């Protein structure tokens, strides 16, 4: 399986994870602003374990959430990429595209730049037939990324996240889809 996958975009290097990413990743996962649309922030142990799962996914499937590094400063700013998703909703199992950036890196188009490259990677390199994205209905910034990279809303596919209890404010999710062009 692909071990050394790396993508260069105009302003970013998308790469597998380094030990030096763990601390800034834990910091963004502990930030309530970044995690507003998730059920909770993560402890540093949970954040590290997430990186372990992402890296195991790269080994197993050849794709995952890429660590994002700014080309101009070398700074780690978060992650964007593809992840295998399998929970109890009609359109899964399948491959989900997602993004999570440090708040200081928002508003520069970095997520959109990385997400476009991740879609390309999924379709051209991994030969996927379809890529999904979903988020809580209130997460407008994330939906704007989906729209900017050309994903199409599947209104009939909106769903209640089965891992969140009834009445949870984040339970209702919107679904977007992309197919190879
Ligand atoms: C979702 C998230 C990645 C979006 O980040 P973002 O910076 O708003 O998204 P983009 O990278 O596409 O940047 C777009 C913004 O940068 C601006 N921008 C500046 N320079 C730009 C450029 N060269 N190209 C594109 N956009 C640019 C755009 O105008 C836009 O700002 P606006 O929304 O105020 O109009 C970010 O909010 C985040 O990490 N949230 C927390 C984690 C999360 O919720 N993840 C999704 C879970 S499903």
DSSP track, 57-91: HHHHHS--EEEEEETTT--EEEEEEEEEE-SSSTT
The domain 6-178 having CATH identifier 3.40.630.30: the answer here is yes
Asked whether the beta carbons of 111 and 80 are under 8 A apart, the reply is yes
The two structure tokens encoding residue 149: 């990279």
List of residues 6+ apart from 4 with CB closer than 8 A: 16
The rounded mean pLDDT for the chain is 96
Task: Evaluate: CB of 81 within 6 angstroms of ligand 1.
Answer: no
Task: Evaluate: CB of 38 within 6 angstroms of ligand 1.
Answer: no
* Spacing, Cα 107 to ligand 1 middle (Å): 5
Asked whether the beta carbons of 43 and 31 are under 8 A apart, the reply is no
Task: Evaluate: CB of 133 within 6 angstroms of ligand 1.
Answer: no
Confidence band of 2 (pLDDT split at 50, 70, 90):
low
In the predicted model, is pLDDT for residue 106 greater than 80?
yes
Q: What is the mean pLDDT of residues 24-40?
A: 97
What per-residue confidence (pLDDT) applies to 4?
Answer: 74
Residue with CA closest to ligand 1 atom 37: 141
In the predicted model, is pLDDT for residue 50 greater than 60?
yes
Spacing of C-alpha 17 from chain mean position: 14
């Amino acid at each position: 399986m692909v071990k050394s996958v790396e993508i260069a975009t105009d302003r970013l290097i998308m790469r597998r994870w380094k030990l030096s990413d763990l601390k800034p990743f834990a910091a963004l996962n502990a930030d309530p602003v970044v995690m507003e649309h998730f059920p909770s922030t993560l402890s540093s142990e949970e954040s590290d374990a997430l990186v372990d799962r992402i890296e195991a996914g790269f080994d197993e499937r050849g794709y995952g959430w890429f660590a994002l590094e700014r080309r101009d400063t070398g700074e780690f700013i978060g992650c964007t990429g593809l992840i295998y998703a399998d929970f109890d909703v009609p359109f899964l199992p399948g491959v989900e595209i997602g993004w999570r950036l440090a708040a200081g890196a928002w508003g520069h188009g970095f997520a959109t730049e990385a997400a476009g490259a991740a879609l390309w990677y999924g379709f051209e390199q991994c030969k996927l037939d379809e890529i999904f994205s979903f988020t809580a209905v209130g997460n407008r910034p994330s939906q704007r990324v989906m729209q900017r990279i050309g994903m199409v809303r599947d209104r009939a596919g909106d769903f209640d996240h089965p891992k969140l209890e009834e009445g949870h404010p984040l339970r209702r999710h919107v679904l977007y889809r992309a197919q190879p062009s």
